Amino acid sequence: MTAVATESIGVAVDGVSKRYAHRVKGEIYAARDVVLNVRPGEFLTLLGPSGCGKTTTLRMIAGYEMPDAGRIRFGGQDVTGQPANQRNIGFVFQNYALFPHLSIFENVAYGLRVRGLPADEVRSRVGEVLALVGLAGYEQQFSGQLSGGEQQRVALARAIVIRPRVLLFDEPLSNLDAKLRVQMRHEIRDLQRRLAITTVYVTHDQEEAMAVSDRIAVMNEGSVVQEGTAEDLYHRPASQFVAQFVGRVNLVAGRVAETAGEAVKIEALGVVVGARSLRKGLGRGDTVVLVVRPEAIAMAPGAGAPGSLQATVLSRTFLGEKIEYLLRCAGETLQVVRYDAGPGEVFAEGASVEVSFAADAVTVLPDAAAHGKPDA
């Protein structure tokens, strides 16, 4: 694969900040002290709601914007002051930004021509990379004649043909329909693996992030709030924000009844449940929030033993491979998802059920409302 071969380098974003003057709020931070370490060949995704600073961070890595503070390094080399056209990056925009006046061939060849490569090498490399993205034979078409998915592939080809040191994606799939989006994210992932190009990818879609990334950095209000694999974020969220942003979740208020290392017992919903705490320093009587994923809640028919958790079925939604329930339980509403329930399972609306949580599936977080108040 000659279209590929560059050795992978890491990308370090070291305490980078970017401020803007805002008309109402005065000076605001689009990015605040962002620290990221992308390992060579790694696929890192910046995930967060709109306005969280993920695109600003990406554009600073690209060199489109200059940070007000902090350094950016490519493989140890400080590139902070370098403009985008000297960084040797591949960038894929959400709207593809294909040159409408150039053919597909010329679009992909653009970066090679800028680098002054001889015509026959340009031809062979463009041919190779178009074959790689499955667009051989499209050379003479124009972007207006292509479908959204094809345009996306051209944008990808144009970004990788220059053998960039870093590949950057800014929400590349959000203009595609749902089915194509799933297909394209596999293609992007495959290609990135094959080429082993260090990649930073921006999205607000948590499912997309989980599908493509080696690691995910969740951002909120200009800062990275948690970094880890998809499993880390899902099963061990460090904050309510991450818990709510990554996957669906029940947040249940509680109070620490007993601690023993990582395992704790929490009073919640009128009973005592087992859980694990990621925070040191939680003591008896502290108010906390339990993070319980909908699929971690077990349901059994009928009234249970004393001390068990009773609930009433509010609604039942059949979705094919799974059934979703809303339960009323000690004044709270719980979401429950049951997979592989079998045709026999019927918890009718209004039925009484007994629910239970698996202790290792419940995460304890300090109560955000109480957090920051002295000794709440």
Partner 1 sequence: MAGNSGGLLATNSAGRHKDPVVAAAVLALWLLLALFVVYPLAMLFARMLTDHGTFTTAGIATILTDRHQVRAFWNSLLLASLVGITGTALGFLFAFTAARGRLPRALLTIVDASVLLPLVSPPFTTAIAMIFSFGPRGLITYDVLGMKGVTVYGLASTLCSEALTYFPIAYLTLRPILAAIDSNIEGMAFSLGASRWRVFRTVTLPLAVPGLANAFLLLFAASLADFATPLILAGNQFPVLPTQAYLQITGLFDLRGGAALSFVLLVPALVVFLLQRYWVSRRFYVTITGKGAGQTPFDSISPVVRNVLLAACATVAVVVVYFYALLLYASLVMALGANHTFTLQHYRVIFTDGAQAIRDTLIIAGFAMPLGGLYGVLLGYLVTKKTFAGRRTMELVSMINYALPGTIVGIAYLIAFNDPPLELTGTALIIIACYIFRYGPTGIRATVALLQQIDKSLEEASQGLGAGSTTTFRRVTLPLILPAFFAGLGVVFIRSMTAISATIFLVSIGWTLITVRILENITELSLGPAAAFSVLVVVIVFVVIAAIGRVLRLFRAPGAVPMTSLLGG
| Site residues, partner 1 (CB under 8 A) | 20, 55, 59, 62-65, 83-91, 93-101, 110-111, 114-115, 144, 158, 162, 171, 174-175
Residue number with CB closer to partner 1 (170 or 286): 170
Number of H helices, E strands in the chain: 8, 20
Q: Residue 50 CB, nearest distance to partner 1 (Å)?
A: 10
What SS3 state is found at 133? coil
Residue number with CB closer to partner 1 (55 or 198): 55
Q: Residue 350 CB, nearest distance to partner 1 (Å)?
A: 39
Residue number with CB closer to partner 1 (59 or 338): 59
Amino acid at 87: R
Is residue 162 a contact partner of residue 111, using CB atoms and an 8 Å limit? yes
Nearest to 208 by CA among 177, 236, 174: 174
Both tokens of residue 335?
């979401």
Both tokens of residue 78?
């400080």
Alpha-carbon separation of residue 128 from 89, 106, 115, 147, 247 (angstroms) = 19, 14, 18, 21, 39
Residue number with CB closer to partner 1 (64 or 265): 64
d(C-alpha 270, C-alpha 289), whole Å: 14
Q: Residue 316 CB, nearest distance to partner 1 (Å)?
A: 35
d(C-alpha 290, C-alpha 248), whole Å: 13
Residue number with CB closer to partner 1 (98 or 230): 98
Residue number with CB closer to partner 1 (91 or 245): 91
Q: Residue 85 CB, nearest distance to partner 1 (Å)?
A: 5
Q: Residue 115 CB, nearest distance to partner 1 (Å)?
A: 6
Q: Residue 262 CB, nearest distance to partner 1 (Å)?
A: 43
Nearest to 358 by CA among 309, 324, 286: 309
Residue number with CB closer to partner 1 (95 or 183): 95
d(C-alpha 238, C-alpha 216), whole Å: 13
Q: Residue 376 CB, nearest distance to partner 1 (Å)?
A: 38
Q: At what angle do helices 119-132 and 104-114 cross, to 10 degrees?
A: 130
d(C-alpha 64, C-alpha 82), whole Å: 10
Looking up tokens 């207006």, which residue turns up? 144
